[in-house]
Structure 1
Amino acid sequence: METASSSSLSVNFPQLTEFNLSELFLSRREAVAALSASAALPFLSGGLSPAFAQTTSADAQASALLDSIAENLLRQSPESATSLGIDKGEHIALRSQLGDRSGIGQQRLAQTLRGDLARANAIDVSALSHSVRTSVEVVRSAYANALEGFMQPYGDVAVGSWRNTPYVVIQNVGAYLDTPRFLDSEHQIATRDDADAYIARLKSYPEQLDNELGRVIMARYKGLIPPDFLLDKALKQLGQSLDGARRGGGLVESIERRTREKNISGNWAEQARAIVQQQVAPALERQIAELTLQRGLAKSDPGMWARKDGDGYYAWALKASTTTTMTPDEVHQMGLEELRALQARMDPILKSLGYTKGSVGERMQALGKDPRYKFSPGDKGRAEILAFINERLRIIRSKLPQMFNTMVKGNLEVRRLPPEEEPGAPGAYGGAGSIDGSIPGKFWINLRTTELHTKFDLPDLTHHEAIPGHVWQGEYANKLPLIRTLLSFNAYSEGWALYAQQLADEFGVYDDFPAGRLGYLQGIAFRACRLVVDTGLHAKRWSRQQAVDFFVNENGSKAEEVASEVDRYCSWPGQACGYKVGHTTINRQRDKAKAALGSRFDIKAFDDAVVLGGNVPMDVLAKNVDEYIAKARG
């Protein structure tokens, strides 16, 4: 085991914060049921405020209730307030807090959702305008799905988000990854108060780690042990985090650098170093000790079928990620069919470039080895990649007025993932910035090796993660009511990002770059492969190597890239299926609109209808498109 800290660790588990045996053996179903029957939390609004009761408009009353629900959810996720740039004024206290990752914190969140779902269900939507009714339906769908997740015996539940996982700490999940990145990139430091808030959050970080640890141990007692290869990755990354903490590295350097840049006097680095070395490092050691113990118990079976209660967990995770009732067999078959259709489009382009022999996958592998499309190794290549991305962003920005009537800024910065996160991370990911624009959206690019990216596939990745994909769509969401900004659906988010890739192709960015069009088609085919691989791993008892080989052989994907991808599917069951299901659904809705409107169909108006309607489950998307069709007909 190559971890810098897996030996000579002394752990006194009973001293862990909010961790004790009564919590360990309390089942989550029992806890949620008990809490739902108990008195509401102080901040839950059980009745109507005077101002609310005096409102005569149905829309205004529903909107006020939705605002109240948003406030309750925001209190459960202080980091979201910071990321959205609203941790000020009445929300100023949230700037010094981190989310509660303890078992009790999870139960408290479930209680909040249960109470607020009852309030949302009591709204008479027949009297509402389309936009307000949509917001109510979004809350109902997100909260009902999350509460189903809390009835699972273990794991993290994404409330209106995408990262559902059975494993509280693993190679791509856990405070050891999330909190340092958040503090460095999202927690802004412009004043002394901001620096004080950073230190307050840093003081909470060891508690957050220990609270997670209590849930990891609880899951082990319930029979949940992650696959050995995931634990190996997690232990290596935790070891890197521990090394940095012992040195007083990134978390200390971040506040030291930024207070210096803003001329904020004080002993910030000394305070941060003491916390990191004396409290964070021991908490990381405790997590490493537990995962090392679990590594000795672990097996190599990658899928949820091999875990206790895994079939039930996967059924819920697949439903949550696609917002459909498709079965694993249906998803698997859909992937195979869509893959064949895409390969039929790739074949003639490959032939036109001189790649005539072998399967489409074999020819795409050969294209990937073509030196014309490679970046230089090392730091020189990393600089080339960043410059290349910025040039592709310039090109796509020039096309946006042809795609949308309603424009946003596309506030964005391209950043390399922290090196300690790169081994367990995908090739890239992105998302919008704050509501007020003070924090730009991020396109995080994995640069652990330049071999991860080529010049023919990187444009497509840029459109997916940045513009007109996740960053672009997120700015529209930021203009909606707060509850709509807080809630998202995996199938819509990722379906939109694939549709964004499609728009880039349809509006000509590859007209003089056929290899780039192949990269786009390969990217879509990659998501079709995900349907096959995710269901193969979790429902059809595929091995990890079977999953990797399918990507390489069928899609010509790079083995190094897809190894991390497959590991990601093992720790986020079902999530990978939302992409193509969402993309196919958007296109079916577009076909419906074209058939209904004929010559009156306008691509810019349709795109506006999809993106301005906000992040929604697939059934609500259909209603939004129906509304667009009705208005276009006059």
Structure 2
Amino acid sequence: MLDRRRFLLSSAAAAAAAAATPVLAGAGQTAASPEGRKVTALLDRMMQEFLAESPEFMTALGLDTGPNAAARGRLDDRSLAFVDRSFAAFRGYGAELDSIDRAALSGMDAVNYDTTRFIIDGAALADRFDYGIQAPVGGANPYLVSQLTGSYSSIPQFLDTQHPVQSVADAEAYLDRLSAFAGVLDVETDRVRRDFAAGATPPDFVLRRTGEQFAATLGVDPAQSGMTRSLARRAAEAGLPGDWAARAEQIVRDAVYPAMRRQAEVVAGALPGAPTEAGCWRLPDGEAYYRYGVLSYTTTDMGGDEIHEIGLAQVAELSARADEILRAEGLTQGSVGERIAAVARRPDQLYPNTDAGKAQLIADLNAQMAAVQQRLPEVFGRLPRAGVEIRRVPVEIEAGAPGGSYQMPSLDGSRPGAYYINLRNTAETPRFTLPTLTYHEASPGHHFQIAVALEAEGIPTLRKMPLFSGYTEGWALYAEQLADEMGVYENDRLGRLGYLQSFMFRAARLVADSGLHHKRWTREQAVRYMVDTLGDAESTMTTEVERYCVWPGQACSYKLGHTVWDRTRTAARTTMGDRFDIRGFHDISLAAGAIPLEVLERLVADWAAQA
């Protein structure tokens, strides 16, 4: 899972953006056409403007240095005025794109144009909804503050994992950002009040979960806060003189915590009158919002009924495959989900729910990742240079966080990618499920795909970003399939069961997501369906379903995206016959950067026809 909320519009040029790069055509590199150069120039200017008004994005990419070092001490503008500027600028981009002759474009020029068109059309759809995280790029987020959204959780993690502390100037910039954090919280709090008044209040269970996370953060003494300790620890490691802990503690105590309490009080105050309905259908123009959510996350324009039926059919097919393995294990009684649950409870599949047990789990993940890395040249011609680290989700936010997530490396490769695993309860992560999670989040999944795109030559910088969930999450699920095809489960029957359960999980998400937001299921209906189908712990499935409630459509991007990736490879193999080279397929698909799925299909079809 990826966080795309940083990809917001900016309205002024920034010198920090990477210069325009040569443009690819088809599978080779040629000079762009005059119209193609116009598209590239537009994409590069959009990227420059994103960077200009998103200092957090600049830090995430490692570009807040030299003449742009001042960005390191600032946070993003989250005001409604910024939102208005963003959408106004996108309308300007759209007018500029309209002046370019699409018929004159081919190869990667056409890919650039079609991708830009999708982004601009998506921004126009987002502009009609006057609540939530109103970002022209990134996906549907109807609630500004929830258990998964809001600066109260994102900024502390950003400061800890992405803001560097290697010099006194870095440490001072950290304190500047910490001071600015209080103002950001208050801006968000005002917008939350506005959204609540407009009828965009989260469900009561979302508010309760969010309140629990506020309480967990505010219950820590400011001196022991992660915001204080992160700066103190890293300043000490860098040998920086100064009492950084005391200065950070004072800001947390006197500014950040009071602002956070004000936000928590608004959230708690909405709870008595909060709705119980889980789906976004009850929001203003809610049915249209779900259609927008599906389009923005999956890059496909499917309706809720179609998604629901696809999910049910794929769950049935995958359950039959899992049943064969379970019977081979001597498990014949009960549903597939019940039997998978029985495997998950076996003592040999559980890590101790202790610090030592969790440390051993992460060590085993590292070993799995190292083993598959050795096999990657078998199926890829191009390998990324950036490394990836496995980290535990911070304890303060693990209650509402997903099971696994990925944070991309810096653009210059100075900061590695990070695969986060949630260890709130090791019973939720039995051994047989972990290999496929690693292949999804690290390599050959998210890390591999995103690092290859960041390091690719010949595409505009903006298109190196993981903007499209259907492409990136679809790839990560395809990567799980690829690992199986590489033979990683040849002597690991339960590992293959974990792989099939992962696919069942993503297919069941189609059913649950469309059930909640289109068929008007309750949260309890969705949780029960997921538990009965998959056999996972109810606590795990409750967290999952609550995630779907705040990100309508996002859960569909995995399996729908995978379906297109698999279909695209099959079509290329059919076209090319014996000339098909899986390494070439992967290289052409990944070096193009993240793109809408229909653009991916056209790109690969052209490559196969020209080969």
Is TM-score (shorter-chain normalized) higher than 0.5? yes
Instruction: Give the CA deviation at 1:42.
Output: 5.3
CA distance in 2, matches of 1:238, 1:122: 49
CA deviations over 1:462-521 (Å, ceiling 9, x no partner): 111111111111101212432113351011111000001011000011000010001001
For 1:411-422, list aligned pairs within 5 A: 411-422=387-398
Distance 1:469 1:160 in 2: 22
Most deviating of 181-190 and 85-94: 85-94
Q: Give the letter for the 2:595 counterpart.
A: V
Q: CA deviation at 1:454?
A: 0.9
Three-state SS of the structure 2 residue aligned to 1:478 is helix
Matched, 1:347 2:323: yes
**Which position in structure 1 is the counterpart of 2:552?**
573
Give the conservation status (yes or no) of the 8 Å contact 1:393–1:467: yes
- 1:369 has 2:345 as partner: yes
Count the aligned residue pairs: 585
Of the three residues 403, 412, 427, the one matched with 1:436 is: 412
Quick one: which of 92, 113, 137 aligns to 2:90? 113
Q: What is aligned with 1:72?
A: 49
Question: Paired residue for 2:123, among 137, 146, 151?
Answer: 146
Provide TM-score, normalisation by structure 1.
Answer: 0.89
* 1:126, distance to aligned residue in structure 2 (A): 4.2
CA 1:122–1:247: 2 relative to 1, 3 Å: same
Shift of 1:140: 2.1
Q: 1:488 is aligned with what amino acid?
A: L
Paired residue secondary structure (1:579): helix
Give yes or no for the alignment of 1:389 onto 2:365.
yes
Aligned to 1:225: 201
Question: 109-118 or 571-580: which moved more?
Answer: 109-118
Q: 1:76·1:109 contact (CA, 8 Å) conserved in 2? A: no
Give the counterpart letter for 1:383 in structure 2: A
Task: Report how far residue 533 of structure 1 moved.
Answer: 0.2
On the 8 A contact 2:14/2:48 being kept in 1, the answer is: no
| Aligned twin of 1:499 | 478
Structure 2, unaligned stretches of length 5 or more?
1-8, 16-31
Secondary structure of the 1:413 match is strand
Which secondary structure state, in structure 1, belongs to the residue aligned with residue 348 of structure 2?
helix
Q: Describe how 1:196-211 pairs up with structure 2 within 5 A.
A: 196-211=172-187
Q: Which moved more, 1:196-205 or 1:329-338?
A: 196-205
Question: Which residue is 1:543 aligned to?
Answer: 522
Compared CA separation, residues 484 and 90, structure 1 to 2 (3 A): farther
After superposition, give the CA deviation of every residue in 1:213-233 in whole Å (9 maximum; x if it has no partner).
Answer: 111000111112211111111
The aligned counterpart of 1:609 is 588
* Letter in structure 2 aligned against 1:149: A
CA distance in 2 between counterparts of 1:599 and 1:157 reads 48
TM-score (norm 2): 0.92
Task: Indicate how the Cα distance of structure 1 residues 69 and 548 shifts in structure 2: closer, same or farther if over 3 A, else same.
Answer: same
| Residue in structure 2 matched with residue 525 of structure 1 by the alignment | 504
Q: Give runs of aligned pairs for residues 304-315 of structure 1, distance below 5 A.
A: 304-315=280-291
Does the alignment pair 1:460 with 2:436?
Answer: yes
Alignment partner of 1:442: what SS? Answer: strand
CA 1:346–1:487: 2 relative to 1, 3 Å: closer
Corresponding residue SS for 2:431: coil
Offset, 1:566: 0.3
Q: 1:92–1:126: structure 2 CA closer, same or farther, 3 Å change rule?
A: farther
- Corresponding letter in the other structure for 1:565: E
AA of the residue aligned to 1:484? R
Q: Match for 2:353: what amino acid? A: P
Shift of the 593–87 alpha-carbon distance from structure 1 to 2, 3 Å rule, reads same
Q: Distance between the aligned counterparts of 2:341 and 2:43, measured in 1?
A: 50
Q: Deviations over 1:555-599 (max 9, x none)?
A: 222222111000000111111011111000111111111111111
Aligned pairs (5 A) from 1:476-515: 476-480=452-456, 481-486=460-465, 488-515=467-494
Alignment RMSD = 2.1
Match of 1:135 in 2: 112
Are 1:288 and 2:267 an aligned pair?
no
- Is the 8 Å Cα contact of residues 226 and 298 (structure 1) preserved in structure 2? yes
Aligned partner (choices 251, 254, 270) of residue 275 of structure 1: 251
How far does residue 90 in structure 1 lie from its aligned partner after superposition?
Answer: 4.2
CA–CA distance in 2 between the matches of 1:439 and 1:293?
41
Q: Is the 8 A contact 1:142 1:487 kept in 2?
A: no
Counterpart of 2:22 in structure 1 is none
The structural deviation recorded for 1:631 is 2.8
Q: How does 1:2-41 map onto structure 2 within 5 Å?
A: none
Q: Secondary structure at the match of 1:414?
A: strand
Question: Which structure 1 residue ranges, 5 or more long, are not aligned?
Answer: 1-35, 46-54
The aligned counterpart of 1:100 is 77
Residue 87 of structure 1 is matched in structure 2 by 64
SS at match of 2:419: strand
Identity %: 40
Question: Aligned in 2, Cα 1:455/1:248: closer, same or farther, shift over 3 Å?
Answer: closer
Change (3 A) 1:104 1:245: farther
Whole-Å Cα distance in 2 between the matches of residues 246 and 270 of structure 1? 10
Per-residue deviation, 1:178: 0.5
In the alignment, the residues of structure 2 paired with residue 432 and residue 243 of structure 1 have an alpha-carbon distance, to the nearest angstrom, of: 30
Q: Distance in 1 between matches of 2:73 and 2:104?
A: 41
Q: For the residues of structure 1 that align with 2:608 and 2:216, how far apart are their CA atoms? A: 54
Residue 59 (structure 1) shift:
4.3
Specify whether residues 339 and 410 from structure 1 end up closer, same or farther in structure 2 by C-alpha distance, changes over 3 A only: farther
Contact 1:548-1:566 at 8 Å conserved across structures: yes
Change (3 A) 1:42 1:384: closer
1:19 counterpart residue number: none
Distance 1:139 1:88, change over 3 A: farther
Whether the 8 Å CA contact 1:103–1:214 is kept in 2: the answer is no
Between 527-536 and 380-389, report the one with greater CA deviation: 380-389
TM-superposed deviation, 1:133: 2.9
Distance in 2, matches of 1:604 and 1:591, equals 14
Partner of 1:235: 211
Q: Secondary structure at the match of 1:299?
A: coil
Compared with structure 1, are the counterparts of its residues 144 and 587 closer, same or farther at alpha carbon in structure 2 (3 Å cutoff)?
same
Deviation sequence 1:417-456 (CA, Å, 0-9, x none): 1111100011110132111111110101111111110111
Q: How does 1:558-569 map to 2 (within 5 A)?
A: 558-569=537-548
Paired amino acid for 1:313: Y
State the AA in 1 paired with 2:538: A
CA distance in 1, matches of 2:57, 2:415: 12
The 1-side partners of 2:111 and 2:284 are apart by 37
Matched position secondary structure for 1:471? helix
Match of 1:623 among 597, 602, 609: 602
